[in-house]
Amino acid sequence: MKWLTFTFLTFVLILLLWATSDLPSRANPQSPANVHLSPEFTKLTETEIHVPNIVSAILADFRGYDTLGETFVIFTAGLAVLLVLGSHGRKKKDPRKK
């Protein structure tokens, strides 16, 4: 079973590496992301939002749903730690122990 997993994962690794060779270079100005999205965001930030920081404009306005989800993730993490490590409900058991 271990060797089967190893073979399968090696196959997936080779597949992914093969697919990587097809991706455009990160700094390529002619790649699809840089041709369509970046000029759009740059233009809209200047004309619609009037904010100097394009990164903040994308994070908080264009991708507001994404940031909302990130905030929910952090809040849920705090809630989970609170439920696991918090002392709620344990106080009732303590007198019985003593």
Partner 1 sequence: MNQPYESTILRFIAKNFLVPLMIVFAVYVLIHGESSPGGGFQAGAIFASAIILVRLIGGNTQTKGLKSLPMPLLIVVASTGLGIYVVTGILAQLFGANYLDYAAIPLQWFNEFAGENRTNRAMGMWIIELGVFLGVASVLVIIFDLLSKDPKND
Sites of contact with partner 1 (CB under 8 A): 48-53, 55-57, 59-61, 64-65, 67-68, 70-72, 74-75, 77-78, 81-82, 85-87, 90-91, 94
CB of 96 to partner 1, least distance (A): 15
Quote the longest CA-to-CA distance of the chain: 73
> What six digits make up the tokens of 55?
């990164």
Which amino acid type is present at position 29?
P
Q: Rank residues 10 and 56 by Cβ distance to partner 1 and give the closer one.
A: 56
Q: Rank residues 2 and 98 by Cβ distance to partner 1 and give the closer one.
A: 98
Q: Rank residues 40 and 70 by Cβ distance to partner 1 and give the closer one.
A: 70
- SS3 letters across 37-90: HHHHHHHHHHHHHCCCCHHHHHHHHHCHHHHHHHHHHHHHHHHHHHHHHCCCCH
CB of 34 to partner 1, least distance (A): 21
